[in-house]
Structure formats: structure tokens, C-alpha cells
Structure 1
Amino acid sequence: MNTDEAIALVEGASAEELFGGADAHQRYLRLARLVHPDAAGPRGTKAFARLAELWHSRGTIRSARGVYSTAVLDHRGDLANLYKVPEGHLKLVRDPSCNDLMAREAAALRRMAEHGDPRYLPYVPRLVDAFRHKTDKVYRGNVIGVSATNLHSLAEVQQRRPHGLDPRDAAWMWRRLLVALGLAHRAGVIHGAVLPEHVLIEPDDHGVVLVDWCYSASAPGERIAAIVPRHRDQYPAEVLDRGTPGPYTDLAMAAGLMSGLMGERAPKALRRFADGCRLASPRQRPDDAWGLLAELDELLHRLYGPRKFRPFTI
């Protein structure tokens, strides 16, 4: 590359196009040598200033609605990187082949925001932005926010309670998870991946947020498009067989999750209740989260008496 080519490239390219690869720093140094005024003369002054501006703005993604930074990687999910931004998190797929799953999440969150009961919307993330980000390829990104703070996943709870969670603590998590699912199902959305990493709790206030709607189905007859391979044994048969999912799918996975969380500490009555949600035939399982919540409340009252707040720490 000669000086003229370097100047033309810097003047016409974006930061992502110049520095999107693994050798970004070396590319910057090479271009800086070519367009520096000491080498290019006066015509390099403008290009060198623009190169510096592009270098300092790298990692910035612009959409029609906002500007987001990828400077702070907060979490690596199954499909996407989550970057901390003032609005919450920027969720950007690592592989463009997963763009359709990111689009599913955006569609599900929009549908719940439009058709869900406003009282229960804090149980799911809100969609702040959804866009396509173009570098050498096109990547879909979602910006999502939640109202709760101090969130921990049930995967973390499992790690810290290897001998099982007290069923009285699991009770409030299960109840609130059913509320989140009730919100989604009445809006016509199936989550499709009720797994430990996707259920976040706020220990102090007993909050629950159900996240990662990339695997969801929100159109009539839509199948669950993908699974998390390491959790394959936690999926009901209709997902693995590419059948039609329904509320019974999410309720079965939720029951399996909570049963696993309690382990041997679960009383027989609660184990039977969970097993009834996980029968092989979807038609034999519960398919109404609100109705199931009422049944769970009755069972919990028989086991533990009137509900009362139990402080919980991770």
C-alpha cells in the first residue's frame, strides 16, 4: 500500500472497517506511518487527524437510535457477547449465523412489551434497541435493560448450594418464575430455554428476571430454533423432536430447573408436583402458568403455612 492508497482508505473507511480485525494495532501503526505529515507532506495532515479520530472511536457501534461502546465486556453468553452500556447491555452475536436468534429475541421482547401485563414487565428485559451492525459481515445486536440490580443467575445459586437449596427459598423463585412465564404465554411467547443461566434473581428483594429470549417462539406454529447443547437433557421431547412448543414446554423446564435446584432437600409432595409438570406427553402436562401458580401456592401453604418473607443471601 502506498501513501495515496492509505490516504484514500483512511478518508473513506469507518473505524470498524479499519480496525475490525485481530491485527488492529499493527494496522493502525502501518497507516500512521504512511499518512503522517512527515511522510506524506501537507496532504497527510487531514488524513492523519482522521486516522487518530477513528482509532480512538474504535469499539463504538452506531445505530439509528444510539451509540454504544464495546469497551466493557461484561459476559460471554452462549451466542453473544454482552457489553455493559449505560442503557443496560449491548448484546452482539459472535457469529452472523446466529442473527436469526437475535431477531427472535427482539421480536419476543417487543411482543411482550406490547401485549403483556404492565405490572409484570419487570420480570423480563426491555428492548432498548435492535439493529444490524456491518463490518466485513453483518451482525445483529440488541440493547436490553432491566430494572433490577444485584442480579445473580440460578447457575450461580446451584454452584453455591451444591447440597440443594432450602425448598422455602426455592418457593419464591419458582413462584416468580411462573409469573414471568405467565406474562410471556399470555402475550403469545414461548421462552424455549428455561435454564439456570437464564433465570436471574435479586436476593434482597426476591426479584426474578427471565433473560435470553433468543431461543423463543412468538409466532403461531413456530419451532424452537436451537438448544444449548450442554443442557440437552433438560429439554422436553417436543423441542428435541422439532415438535410444536407451548406453555407446557416452559413449565416443564421450569419444574425441572427448580427440582434440580432443591435436589434431595425437596419434600416428596414438591417432587411429585414437579414430576407432574414433566410428563412425557405435552397434553398431560400443565399448560397454564397462572393456574399452576395457584396450585403451587396451595401446596406450599399445606407444607409451610402462610407465606412469609425469608431473607436470602447468595
Structure 2
Amino acid sequence: MSSAELDHLSTLLSKARIPEEIFGSLTGTRAEMLDAARKTFRQLAKVAHPDVYQGTADFERAGILFKQLTKLWEQAQLRIEQGIYGKAGIKETFIPFMIRTGTRHYSIEHLLTHGDLCTLYTGCFTQAGRQIRGLLKIPMKPGDNDLMANEARILNHLRASEGYEKLRHFVPQLVDSFSYLEQESGVVRNINVFKHIDGLYSLKEVREAYPEGIDPKDMAWIWRRVLIALNFAHSNHVIHGAVLPIHIMIHPEQHGLVLIDWSYAVLRPVETGERISAISSAYRDWYPAEVFAHEEPTPGLDIAMAARCMLDLLGGDPHKRTLSAALPWQLQSYFKGCTLPNPRQRPQDAYSLLQDFDTLIERLWGPKKFHVFTMPKR
């Protein structure tokens, strides 16, 4: 691909406010509209894909444009699914609805957010005579039902694992998982329901609130809890596969942490041959190379991705694996070792890494103390 083609795409994307300005007028059934938009996306993706520009001056620019294009493609799919593509004047609206299963009635009250693959809703249901708040995760495309089923499989496996009662707060509490037939569309979607927890913020939100980076002592308690969550998973033969800023949730006041979205996880990959089968497209360049090479996932994959999140939290560059020179060199060295390009050279034991970190921070700051951390009110 030439720089001229990339320049042209850059101009198009810089002017695009809505997906219609990239994918044009689409007609026919929803399936036909999706197919037409997909063809356009693939044509443009060939121009912007960063792999095409490896080792050239356009590599970073292509990566940025590819993210922008992917985001617009995701918005186009969502608008087509909702029947509002091509109706720019129509704002996305939410109307509360009910989902009835053989055992429960779910009252869906609010649309919380759109993720890469799913839409999250808050609602409530009755259990043992009590009304309980829940979080419903519904795939935007039926083609992603397998990822929802995989998440339920992994969380059920962890729930049956040794140490779950002590460490269950580090993973989402799966309440229910079922297939649901939408009467209007005839589409079947796999839905996962989780216990809802108030007061959680993603590390993406933390980074946005602290653009210069957070205090290393705040990063320290977050990192320790990430390692505890990963050690629990790895000890039970699970590789998360997508430890990203959007999937690490913290409770600032309680210093709590939940590692969410186990849709991409694999179980016993050495025995089963399972590989990471999907990625979060918005964070494509956060994934180590072995994911794209379909190599056997190891604990070092999760550790490397989690360490990049910490570099980002500290105001560093997660891709160049660097921190500000003002921060202790020991932290730089520690996280550089966690993010080595060769997966066989990275640490593979989250518990040993936690012990090493505790030794490091005690040398830097003395005995551990509770460090108050706050986030702006939503």
C-alpha cells in the first residue's frame, strides 16, 4: 500500500462523524446491509492495516487510522442491528423491556454501555423473595454467542475451583447464563447475567481522570490485586487472554478489584490446544505477537498485558514499555521484564512476581500502608 492511499483514507476518516459517511447508503435486509458494509470495511482495512506498514514511517499512523476505522465499523454494525442506520437524525433511545426464562423474569432498566462485542444493561430480578440488581451482557451479533458461552464455561470452572470462596471477589459473579429467542427478529442470543456492583471504575476511566498518570503507590495496590486475580486463574489452568484497561475494574474506596470479560479465555491450553480466538479490536496493538501467531497461550501472556496496563496507569508508554525517568528505575526494570517480546523470557508465575514486587516496594517505600485513592464523581 502507498502513502497516498493512506493519506486519502486519513482525509476520509478525519471528516467522518458517523459511520454512514464511510459506509455510504445501504439498502435491503439487515443481513444484506451488514454484508455490504463488511465489504467496504475489508477494502479500507487493507489500506489501513498496520501490519502492511511494519518497519516504515507510516506504521504508527496506520495503527491510529485502523482503530478509527474499526470503531466506525462497530458503530455501523450496531446501527444496522438497531434499524437506525441511515437515519442520522435519530438518536439512540432505550426503552425498558423484560426477558423471561424458565426460572426468572429479568426487568431491564438501563443501557449501561456498548462494548466491543456486547451491550451491557442493568436490571433486576427476584431470587428467594428478594429483588436483586443484575448486569446483563448481551452480544450485539449472534455470531458472538460462542464467546458468551465460553465466558460462562470459564466462570463456572473457576467457581468450582479450589480457593474460590476466598478469591471470588476478584472475578465477576455469574448469576445466570441462557439462550434467548427474540420474538421480533427470530435471533437467538446467549446472555450472561452477573451480580451488579456499584462504584467500580475501569482502568481506562482511571487513566482518563489522571492524564499524567497516577501515584506509583496507588498503582502498587492495583497491581498486587491484579496478580492475585491472575494467580487464581492460572492456578486453575485458565488464561484470561484479554487483560486490558477496559477489563480491570477497581473500587477506589475499598481498594477492590474485579477482572472482567472472560469471553476470550482458554482452559488447559497445553492439553486442549485452545488458542485465543478473538481480540478486542480497539486494543489490537496491546496484544503480544504470540496471539496473532496463534501460539499456545501462557500465564506470561496475561502478565505482559497486565503490566502494560500498569505502565499506562503510571503515565508511561505501554507499547514502547517505558516509564518517565522521574519514576524509580526499579519499577521500570521490573515491568520491562514482565513485557519482554519473547514469551518464554517473561515471568510465568504471578505469585512469585507478587512476592518480588512486595520486596521491591518495601525497599522503595517501607512497610505497606493504606494509600487513599479517589476518582471524580460520575
- CA positional deviation for 1:60: 1.4
Given the two structures, how large is their TM-score scaled by the length of structure 2?
A: 0.66
Name the amino acid aligned to 2:310: M
For the residues of structure 1 that align with 2:327 and 2:146, how far apart are their CA atoms? 39
Change (3 A) 1:266 1:191: farther
Q: What is the match of residue 157 of structure 2?
A: 111
Is 2:183 aligned against 1:122?
no
Q: What is the match of residue 235 of structure 2?
A: 186
- CA positional deviation for 1:230: 2.0
SS in 1 for 2:246: helix
- CA positional deviation for 1:70: 2.9
Change (3 A) 1:21 1:77: closer
For the residues of structure 2 that align with 1:189 and 1:165, how far apart are their CA atoms? 30
- CA positional deviation for 1:219: 4.1
Change (3 A) 1:300 1:213: same
Q: What is the match of residue 82 of structure 1?
A: 120
Percent identity of equivalent pairs: 45
Is 2:290 aligned against 1:238?
yes
Q: What is the match of residue 284 of structure 1?
A: 345
For the residues of structure 2 that align with 1:156 and 1:116, how far apart are their CA atoms? 32
1:139 corresponds to which of 164, 181, 189: 189
- Structure 1, unpaired ranges of 5+: 1-19, 24-56
Is 2:257 aligned against 1:208?
yes
CA contact (8 A) 2:96 2:109 kept: no
SS in 2 for 1:209: strand
CA contact (8 A) 2:138 2:190 kept: yes
CA contact (8 A) 2:139 2:189 kept: yes
Q: Which runs of 4+ in 1 moved over 6 A?
A: none
SS in 2 for 1:227: coil
CA contact (8 A) 1:92 1:141 kept: yes
Name the amino acid aligned to 1:286: P
Q: Deviations over 1:213-237 (max 9, x none)?
A: 1111124321111111221121111
SS in 2 for 1:280: coil
Q: Deviations over 1:132-172 (max 9, x none)?
A: 111211111000125x5311111011001111111111000
Q: What is the match of residue 247 of structure 2?
A: 198
1:210-229 alignment to 2 at 5 Å?
Answer: 210-220=259-269, 221-229=273-281
For the residues of structure 2 that align with 1:65 and 1:251, how far apart are their CA atoms? 39
- CA positional deviation for 1:128: 0.6
- CA positional deviation for 1:256: 0.9
SS in 2 for 1:144: strand
For the residues of structure 2 that align with 1:223 and 1:125, how far apart are their CA atoms? 22
Change (3 A) 1:59 1:306: same
- Give the root-mean-square deviation of aligned CA atoms: 1.9
Given the two structures, how large is their TM-score scaled by the length of structure 1?
A: 0.79
Name the amino acid aligned to 2:258: V
Say which structure, 1 or 2, has more relative contact order (CA 8 Å, 6+ apart): 1
Larger radius of gyration: 1
Change (3 A) 1:232 1:116: farther
Q: What is the match of residue 364 of structure 2?
A: 303
- CA positional deviation for 1:58: 7.8
- Structure 2, unpaired ranges of 5+: 1-80, 85-94, 125-132, 317-323
1:97 corresponds to which of 139, 143, 146: 143
Is 2:308 aligned against 1:256?
yes
Higher helix share: 1
For the residues of structure 2 that align with 1:134 and 1:250, how far apart are their CA atoms? 35
Q: Deviations over 1:65-88 (max 9, x none)?
A: 322133311121111111112342
Which region of structure 1 is more displaced relative to structure 2, 130-139 or 214-223?
214-223
Name the amino acid aligned to 1:108: I
SS in 2 for 1:107: helix
Name the amino acid aligned to 2:249: L
Change (3 A) 1:68 1:167: same
Change (3 A) 1:58 1:292: closer
For the residues of structure 1 that align with 2:145 and 2:328, how far apart are their CA atoms? 43
